[in-house]
Structure 1
Amino acid sequence: MVSLIEELEAREAAARVRVEELEAGIAELTSRLAGEREAWSRLRVARETVTEVLAELAGQDVAEPVTLQEPVEPEVRVVGAIMVPHWREGLTADVLPDVYRDIVEVIAPASGPMQAKQIVPRIGLPVVTGKIEGTRGKLKRLVQRGWLVEDQPGRFAPARPVPGRGIGEFAER
């Protein structure tokens, strides 16, 4: 008969093997992801360069200027890596990962700046310290990337007012 300690040691060893296999898989996927991101980056730079050259040529009265359609940022779903692009003209919240998009969509119609503790229940999370602090981190990232502003500490609002509205008034979605 096997002792309880021996059984626990066997289960621990099996769990350790599973964890090591998963970690090896994650390392391989991370390496592949880095390679694909590099290829994507090179293609994006090439497209932007070609677009600039064509725009310059169009200014020199080229017979038929070629216009390139601006691609939509691809949706990346990777556990542990969230892509929050810097805001630029023409981007909508649709390019953001789900939780970031939810945050922007909650703040956009607000009559004034909002705090993380006001946003958490509106995006479907329980109002507990961990979720509030996690959301605050996401709000800070959205500020860094130009999607939101933090005029007062802890109070967040959309970075751009809707044309035709007064200061502090933002569009309803």
Structure 2
Amino acid sequence: MEEAAARLRVEDLESRIAELTGRLEVEREAWSRLLVTRETVAEVLAEISEAGAPVGPPQEATAPEGSSEPVRMVGAIMVPRWREGLWVDVLPDVYRDIVEIIADATKPIQAKQIAPWIGLPAVTAKIEGTRGKLKRLVERGWLSEERPGLFALAHPAPKPGEWLQLPER
């Protein structure tokens, strides 16, 4: 009796493991496709950015013949490459918030520290999304990655008193 009950429990667990393994494979495949898609989109957007294509908010396009409704074109949110004289206000809101948080920090900080400051829960998915934004800001020259996972301003603003260096008398 006891042996039969143990065998049934083992068979039940094996069945559940097989079902979960199948579901895991399906989800891994979906995840893999999403990663490839994200990387492809990032490459295309980088090429567009490097080509100097204007990027901005969605714009009205001319309607197709025979239609009186305007067509909305979807614009891409782009992070421009940093250059001298470029202000943080050219960045999309969340990127601007990230740069401002890092500018206020006294030392390099991690994605998990930034996520709550930009209104995201400190869960893995949101932290990884934030890390992706940080990496993009590093790639575009706004931030530097001091050590793996520690981010700081790439071009810190002068400290008070450094704006104008007067010679001592």
The normalised TM-score by structure 1 is 0.50
Unpaired runs of at least 5, structure 1: 1-33, 43-72, 166-173
Matched, 1:147 2:136: no
Tell which has more relative contact order, 1 or 2 (C-alpha 8 A, sep 6+): 1
Residues 79/122 of structure 1: CA separation in 2 closer, same or farther (3 Å cut): farther
Q: For 1:146, what is the secondary structure of its paired residue?
A: coil
Find the partner of 1:108 among 103, 120, 133.
103
Find the partner of 1:137 among 112, 116, 132.
132
Residues 79/140 of structure 1: CA separation in 2 closer, same or farther (3 Å cut): farther
Q: For 2:157, what is the secondary structure of its paired residue?
A: coil
Determine the C-alpha separation between the residues in 1 that align with 2:115 and 2:100: 12
AA aligned opposite 2:117:
R
Determine the C-alpha separation between the residues in 1 that align with 2:129 and 2:74: 16
Q: Percent identity?
A: 66
Residues 79/135 of structure 1: CA separation in 2 closer, same or farther (3 Å cut): farther
Determine the C-alpha separation between the residues in 2 that align with 1:87 and 1:41: 14
Instruction: Please name the residue that 1:99 is paired with.
Output: 94
Unpaired runs of at least 5, structure 2: 1-44, 59-72, 161-169
Question: Deviation at 1:80?
Answer: 8.0
Question: Deviation at 1:87?
Answer: 0.2
Q: For 2:104, what is the secondary structure of its paired residue?
A: coil
Question: Deviation at 1:151?
Answer: 1.1
AA aligned opposite 2:121:
P
How many equivalent pairs are there? 100
Deviations 1:65-88 (A, max 9, x none): xxxxxxxx8743586832000000
Residues 132/115 of structure 1: CA separation in 2 closer, same or farther (3 Å cut): same
Q: For 1:108, what is the secondary structure of its paired residue?
A: helix
Determine the C-alpha separation between the residues in 2 that align with 1:154 and 1:106: 16
Mapped contact 1:82–1:97 kept (Cα < 8 A): yes
Find the partner of 1:128 among 108, 123, 128.
123
